[in-house]
Amino acid sequence: MTTSRPRASSASAAPLVSETQGGGSPGAAGGAARSGLAFAVGAYGLWGVLPVFFLLMSPSGPFEIVAWRIVFSLVFCLALLAATRGFPAFVRLLRQPRLVATMGLAGVFIVVNWTVFITAALAGHVVEAALGYFINPIVTVLLAVVVLRERLRPAQWAAVALSGVAVLVIAIGTGDVPWVSLVLASSFGLYGLVKKQVGGRVDAVGGLTLETMLMTPVAGAALVVMAVTGVGGGVVFGSVSVVHTLTVISSGVVTAVPLLLFAAAARRLPLATIGLTQYLAPVLQLIVGVVLLHEEMPVTRWIGFAIVWVALIVLSTDAVRSSRRNRGIERKSRIANETVQ
């Protein structure tokens, strides 16, 4: 949104979700918080081990994997809509052309993200992919300035500057700009920005269904071209083994389940808590890359990662303090209103 005067930034290290509303008994709130944390850990834990899952799809190439992921995600989401009787609400979404166009743009960004991530995983660049998701919160903050015209707090500017230094250190040390990291962070940041514009009008299942439905014609065309020409390794689905076929089919479930877990967590946890748990995914990806896949980690890359972690500590601390301050202001305002009434 554009305003005549800059505002204090609402951007933080967290995904763009709503604050959990207060109310209810302390016991119920505590139970919701515990279950919400479990859902968040489940979501980010699954996202963290995705590189291993995609490696199991070899010898399928990245473009084939992305195409089938789109197709089977749509199949799974349609099944969920049928099971939950969500088709009437989904049809209402389809009757809003501007919303459909917005979700189509979101679909483009997430497909770019999927393609780069899977290509990186299959090519042995999981560590670089992990760096992309570490710096994603910083990109989200930058997008708040560039697109939403928000004003950053000093701590947020410090985090942005530190991240820039980290990328520079890695580029100089390795002799190559970490393009995979930058594209992943930018595409996912833009995806989150587009989804923020949609707000609460689209639920997790309806949103993923609409995104994959809009991308399915492109995925289908890509599969036909690959099958006919053999470009990108061709299409090997159904010709390798039963295990490989079932693994590819299950990509729809693997795509949708973490999103559903995240949606459940977002309804139960404060924004700041969600923001802190999101780092579990890149931490696990880093472990997969270094420990399981034995990717190289020169000293300069470790230094770059360390600088990014310092930036994230600064950003997360600022987000927690801002969240507490906002809750305090809201509490005082509520008490004042009750006193007046």
Q: Per-residue pLDDT tens for 179-220?
A: 999 999 999 889 888 887 887 788 888 888 999 999 999 999
Residue 31 CB-half CA count within 13 A:
6
User: Among 184-188, 228-232, 253-257, 275-279, where is mean pLDDT lowest?
Assistant: 275-279
Residue type, 120: A
> pTM of the predicted model, to two decimals?
0.82
Number of other CB atoms surrounding residue 269 within 10 Å = 25
Binning pLDDT at 50, 70 and 90, where does residue 142 land?
A: confident
User: Among 84-93, 159-168, 246-255, 327-336, where is mean pLDDT lowest?
Assistant: 327-336
Structure tokens at 20: 């959990």
To the nearest whole percent, how much of the chain has pLDDT over 70?
A: 85
User: Among 10-19, 147-156, 255-264, 321-330, where is mean pLDDT lowest?
Assistant: 10-19
| Dihedral angle computed from the Cα positions of residues 260, 261, 265 and 271, in that order, rounded to the nearest 10 degrees | -70
Please report, for residues 43, 136, 142, 150, 187, the alpha-carbon distance to residue 139 in angstroms, rounded to integers and kept in the order given.
Answer: 21, 5, 5, 13, 10
Q: How far apart are CA 306 and CA 213, in angstroms?
A: 40
Q: What is the pLDDT of residues 161-177, one digit of tens each?
A: 988 898 899 888 888 88
Is the pLDDT at 271 greater than 70? The verdict is no
Spell 129-164 as b/e; 16+ CB within 10 A means b: bbbbbbbbbbbbbbbbbeebebebbebbebbbebbe
Q: What is the mean pLDDT of residues 314-340?
A: 71
Write down the mean pLDDT value for the chain: 84
Write the DSSP symbol of residue 124. Answer: T
Closest to 67 measured CA to CA, from 181, 304, 231, 312: 231
pLDDT at res. 23: 44
Is the pLDDT at 38 greater than 50? The verdict is yes
pLDDT at res. 4: 36
Report which of residues 118 and 17 the model is more confident about.
118
Is the pLDDT at 129 greater than 50? The verdict is yes
Binning pLDDT at 50, 70 and 90, where does residue 143 land?
A: confident
Q: What is the mean pLDDT of residues 316-340?
A: 70
Please report, for residues 224, 277, 279, the alpha-carbon distance to residue 247 in angstroms, rounded to integers and kept in the order given.
Answer: 21, 28, 26
pLDDT at res. 137: 86
> 193 and 15 in contact (C-beta within 8 Å)?
no
Binning pLDDT at 50, 70 and 90, where does residue 29 land?
A: low
Residue type, 110: I
